[in-house]
Structure 1
Amino acid sequence: MKFAKMLYCTTVLMFGCIMLSSACKLTIAGNKGKLVSNQRLEQRILKVEKTLTETIKSQEKILKKIMMAKTKTDPLPLDMCLEDVSMRKMTGQSSSQNYRKYPPRNGVDGNLSSMFHTRLEKNPYWWVDLGSSFSVHHVEIWNRGGRSYGNRLRELDVMVGPTLSKMKSCAYHKGRIAAGKHLILKCSKTTKGRYVKLGLRVKDILSLMEVKVFAYGTTCLNKT
């Protein structure tokens, strides 16, 4: 959405400058520096204004079509207020496999070559403390690669709440998640909380390369 708005504004600004510049050149070149009547000048300005308005309307229609097509295939809203609120925040998990290089903090370090890893256990989970309460819209995950390891991920719950003991369901993915897949798990409805927990409903290992929690940022109006 940010890119689309920037593209639109840039197009309008550039075209406006070009048209105004062209109008000035036409006035000077066509009259060889002589003064023209207010009526003729007004007509030329109106013509430029009309052309600019028609072009802007045309650009708006094209942009609208692009955005409408995006909403049909992309689960994310056209909203510039959403931001990742989990980067390098405090984390934890249900267990460790004595892998010092696979701690829970690897899930929010911004590095897709590192991962967190629990033991083989019933209902393993991982959590992140966002530091304060946010209205969570969706969570993005990056599964680890390799069929023998990545295909373990299945029956995944995403929970949000004010504490780890008091949480509500945000999203649920039934079945397996393919190895190496980047998945967007949108909350069934915007869920407010400080903690976000990912857990499996089965006995297995929970390991992911990266997790990002997207919520309505503090710079925007707090949405619920």
Structure 2
Amino acid sequence: MLQYSVIGTLIVVGSLLSVYTQSSGCHITISGNSAEDFKKCDDLNFQKMMDFVNATKQTQILQDVLVKNCQGRKSEKCVEDVAHKKPTGQSSTYSPTAQYNSSHGVDRLIPSGIVYMVVTNRERNPFWWVNLGREYLVERVEIWNRKDCSSCAERTRNMDVTVGPTLNEMKLCAHYKGPSQTGEHLVLGCTKRMRGRYVKLQIQRTDYLNFLEVKVFALKTCSN
């Protein structure tokens, strides 16, 4: 059973974790199979602390205490797009030209014409992916559908959104039955926050995969 107590600035959670603040800063200790001891609350250690809390499914109150008490900083958990201009790839490229490259999925351009979008060939189970650069706790994926033709927009259906540490280790975040409408903005939330470096969209049928933009919203620690 998980227990916690707060005495002044001392926080103790079972035998797993303790945090206390001093005038010189903050001291964090994690005890377990591989104990770690973080001597200060810099951004890297603070993020490691938050990752530990999330990975071990600690309580929400502990997360709140961490972000409020670490070195007295005004910090908060926030969710923001982590896919912008990150490396991308796709199963194929329609009429291979720059205007249909996979990179257009994360360029934050949402045009009204037939340029700067992701379009694959018509093929079985076409896909697109983005490499976030490191692992994040992914909360949701948002997709902007094509604006230029209704028949193109309807291709966005029976689509799996998966998340994982590698492209060979992906788990389902959300499934979109569709079909989507022209210019529609889809917000697909994972059933729970999922840890991963890669996010992949894949149509489970024979068709083109086409869309304008993707944003991947993940948990980060924001400090002011």
Band of TM-score, shorter chain:
0.5 to 0.7
**What is the Cα deviation at residue 92 of structure 1?**
0.2
- 1:132 aligned to which of 111, 131, 134: 134
Q: Distance in 2 between matches of 1:80 and 1:191?
A: 16
Letter in 1 for 2:140: H
Q: Which runs of 4+ in 1 moved over 6 A?
A: none
- 1:93 aligned to which of 73, 84, 90: 90
**What is the Cα deviation at residue 148 of structure 1?**
2.1
The yes-or-no answer on 1:161 pairing with 2:164 is: yes
Q: Distance in 1 between matches of 2:189 and 2:200?
A: 14
Letter in 2 for 1:103: N
Q: Distance in 1 between matches of 2:206 and 2:221?
A: 38
- 1:181 aligned to which of 184, 207, 210: 184
- Root-mean-square deviation (CA, aligned residues, Å) is 1.4
- 1:210 aligned to which of 208, 213, 217: 213
**What is the Cα deviation at residue 208 of structure 1?**
0.6
Deviations 1:100-146 (A, max 9, x none): 11100000001001211100001000000000000000000000021
Partner of 2:106: 108
Asked which structure has the greater CA Rg, the reply is 1
Q: Distance in 2 between matches of 1:86 and 1:213?
A: 6
Structure ranking higher in strand proportion: 2
Q: Secondary structure at the match of 2:212?
A: strand
Q: Is the 8 A contact 2:141 2:214 kept in 1?
A: yes
Q: Distance in 2 between matches of 1:80 and 1:208?
A: 30
Give the 3 Å change call, closer, same or farther, for CA 99–176 of structure 1 in structure 2.
Answer: same
Q: Secondary structure at the match of 2:165?
A: strand
Give unpaired runs (5+ residues) of structure 2.
1-75
Structure ranking higher in helix proportion: 1
TM-score calculated relative to the size of structure 1: 0.61
**What is the Cα deviation at residue 173 of structure 1?**
0.8
Deviations 1:62-107 (A, max 9, x none): xxxxxxxxxxxxxxxxx86000000000000011123311100000
The yes-or-no answer on 1:190 pairing with 2:193 is: yes
Give the 3 Å change call, closer, same or farther, for CA 218–129 of structure 1 in structure 2.
Answer: farther
Q: Report % sequence identity.
A: 48
Q: Distance in 2 between matches of 1:128 and 1:95?
A: 14
**What is the Cα deviation at residue 166 of structure 1?**
0.5
Q: Secondary structure at the match of 1:176?
A: coil
Q: Secondary structure at the match of 1:81?
A: strand
Q: Distance in 2 between matches of 1:115 and 1:190?
A: 28
Q: Is the 8 A contact 2:77 2:222 kept in 1?
A: no
**What is the Cα deviation at residue 217 of structure 1?**
1.5
Give unpaired runs (5+ residues) of structure 1.
1-78
**What is the Cα deviation at residue 151 of structure 1?**
1.3
Letter in 2 for 1:128: V
Letter in 2 for 1:109: D
